[in-house]
Amino acid sequence: MRNIYSEERRQRVGKINKGKTLSQETRALIREATLNRKPMSLESRLKCAVHVRPVTITNLDGSKPKNFTSIQEASKTILCSPQTISRALSSNGIIKGRYLVTDTIDT
């Protein structure tokens, strides 16, 4: 599909709505539809998120479990690199000899 989408076609598609303005009624309808939209489910949000992987970090003795929505967020909390957490998830799950990281999505 990428091969078919030439530069000329891209320019033509880009010009379709260029310079057009929406009426106040149309804007009001779009706004109304947007405000009445149901929130996305957690499952849908996880499908949309590219680099989000929920994890749980606990102390090695099993105390103080903390859930995080992403590896990035967890890495900031325990002051390590996101790559460290990714590697730990692939191996034994131990980080810095103090924490155990597990995949929240699999549990």
The predicted-structure confidence for 51-103, as pLDDT tens digits, reads as follows 678 888 998 887 888 888 888 888 888 899 888 888 888 888 888 888 888 88
pLDDT at 49 over 60: yes
Answer yes or no: is 42 within a domain.
no
Domain that holds residue 52: 47-103
Answer yes or no: is 33 within a domain.
no
* 96: nearest Cα among 70, 73, 78: 78
Strand partners, 75: none
If one counts the domains in the chain, the total is 1
CA gap 95, 56 in Å, rounded: 12
CA gap 1, 25 in Å, rounded: 36
Answer yes or no: is 65 within a domain.
yes
- Tell me phi and psi for residue 61, to 5 degrees: -80, 0
Answer yes or no: is 83 within a domain.
yes
Answer yes or no: is 23 within a domain.
no
| Percent of the chain's residues with pLDDT above 90 | 17
Using a cut of 0.95, tell me whether the model's pTM lies above it. Answer: no
